[in-house]
Amino acid sequence: MAQAALLVIDVQQSFLHRDFWQDEDVPAFQRNISALIEGCQAKAIPVIDVFHVAEQGPFSLDSGWVKRMDFLQHQATLSVQKRVHNALTESGLLPWLQAQAIDTLIISGIRTEQCCETTARVASDLGFKVLFVSEATLTFPMTHNGVTLSSAELIHRTETVLVNRFAEVVSVEACLARV
């Protein structure tokens, strides 16, 4: 039987202090990630809080904003900090997962196409089974070369490049039924 862990990636107050923050998709994200956390805890699946840390700005430890967003009230099994876009390579998380014989990672958090997607790709390359719960991720529109992709377009793009390659893309309900 698979041993799973839920990664709650970068759901931290730092994002509230970035100029791209928008509230539009936040209520659905809060409901979905909260349901995922509660469901995993009910199944005794470890919940890992992952925090992004930078030298300066709202992601610096000195800012006081490298802490969970207020709506999250769970008790994390483990909390780690990272300074790169994936949660595994330098946070100390990988050896912990290996020591616990975890073979399946459930991915949730902020930003869908950045730290969540990057963690999914690295996890797959390291041999983990990856369940990517995109409805429990959050992102914001991005512009490049004059073209803006909406949050929904970015999520669709992430699902497209991950599915059948790096991860299984699942809903909260399907994820909880599988683990």
pLDDT at 1: 53
Question: What domains lie within the chain, and their CATH numbers?
Answer: 4-178 (3.40.50.850)
| Residue 2's pLDDT band (cuts 50, 70, 90) | confident
DSSP 44: T
- Taking the C-alpha atoms of residue 16 and residue 67, their distance in angstroms, rounded to an integer, is 11
Determine which helix (DSSP H) or strand (DSSP E) holds 40, and give its type and residue range. Answer: helix 26-42
CA-wise closest residue to 11 among 62, 55, 76: 76
pLDDT digit string, tens, across residues 122-166: 999 999 999 999 999 999 999 999 999 999 999 999 999 999 999
**How much is the pTM?**
0.97
